[in-house]
Structures are given as structure tokens and as C-alpha cells.
Amino acid sequence: MPKEILYILTCVIGYLLGSISGGIITSRLANGPDLHTVGSKSTGASNVQRTMGWKYGIITFLIDGLKGIFACLIAWLITGSHFASLLAGLFCVIGHNWPVFFHFRGGKGVATTGGVMLYCFPVPALICIALTVAVIALFRYISVGSMLLVTVFFILSFFFSGPNTCVVIWAFLLMVMCIARHHANIGRLIHGKENKLGNKVK
């Protein structure tokens, strides 16, 4: 089978995997609320944590992170190509943000992006994750830590990629998607109304 067809296949697989929402699965199994109607109306781990508690937030985070890893791994197993893993990971994040199974209403892609980053470039990803955890612990703003995660990763991509133009563009797209999905958080941060970690949704 031509490699181009395999690349398209991995993109489709990545998107469909991304469209499986960890938050919605967790909420339904726990008889929780419709995440589209509570809190930030996001299906991501942050909204699950604020509306259902830490346990379910962590479960959601793990599901969403692991699907990013699996998308990249499956792409590599099919093609043997790291580039295919990059594509599958990117489309997995797109699927998480705009899932075909849930009327294209998803999360902000942070956990899934972290999983994709961790699979494709583990060392710089771990550096970014450690920095993100430190910032969130210090300032208690998940949104700030999330946007810092993808921004620092993009900056580091100029160094760990060689630089490879494809990798830099890939990291840039991950950053843009994440920051764009946090547009409401940015507005709340500017006006001092952003919720801190551990607070109930206002």
C-alpha cells in the first residue's frame, strides 16, 4: 500500500481515537453531569475535576493522555515512520477538541497534547511537563500552566528537532490549538476572574 495512503489512514485513526472523550466516558460511568452544561462546558480533565472531584479528573486526564500516546504508537506500528506518529498525534488532538462523536464539542486538548508530546519527544516533553506542574503548583492556574506547556515546547522544538521545519510547524500547530481553545480563560485572566486550582467554578 502506498505510504501516502498509510499516512491518511493514521490521520483518520488518530482523529477517531481523539474523538473518544475521556471526560464523557468517565461522567457517564459515574452517573455524573452532562459536561457540556456545567462549569466551563468543556469535556476535559479540568472541568471534570471541578464538577466531579479529583478522582474523576485524574481518570479523565489519564484516558485523554493515553489516547494521544496510542494514536502515535499505532501510526508507528502501521508505517514505521516517526512522521506518521506526528500526524496521528496532531489529528488525535484535533479529534479531542472537535470530536465527531459528540457534535464537535470537546475539550482543550491539554492532556492529549501532553501524551502526544511525550511519545514523540519524551525528554523535552518531560521538561515542559515538570515546568507546567511547578507553575500550576505555584500560581494555581491550570490554564496558565497549560499554555506554558505548549509554548515552551514550541520554543524548544527549534533545538531538539535539528531544527526540522516539519517538527517546528507541528509544535506550532499544537501550541496554536491549545492557546486558541483557552481564549475564554485568557479573557478571565485579564479581568482577574479565572478560577484557581481547587476552587469551585464561578
Residue 199 in this model has a pLDDT that exceeds 90: no
Band (200; pLDDT cuts 50, 70, 90): low
Range(s) of the domain holding residue 150: 3-190
Report the chain's mean pLDDT, rounded to a whole number.
Answer: 94
CA–chain centroid gap for 192, Å, is 25
Helix (H) or strand (E) holding 51: helix 45-52
* 197 assigned to some structural domain: no
Nearest residue to 129 via CA among 107, 146, 108, 154: 146
Q: What is the pLDDT of residues 20-31, one digit of tens each?
A: 999 999 999 999
pTM: 0.94
Please count the structural domains in the chain.
1
Per the CB < 8 A criterion, the answer to whether 67 and 19 are in contact is no
In a domain, 201, yes or no: no
Q: Residue 89 falls within a domain, yes or no? A: yes
Assess if residue 116 is contained within a domain.
Answer: yes
Residue found by looking up cell 452532562 in the block:
34
| pLDDT tens, position by position, 115-171 | 999 999 999 999 999 999 999 999 999 999 999 999 999 999 999 988 899 999 999
Residue with cell 512522521: 83
Answer whether residue 198 is part of any domain: no
Residue in this structure with the C-alpha cell 462546558, named with its chain if needed: 41
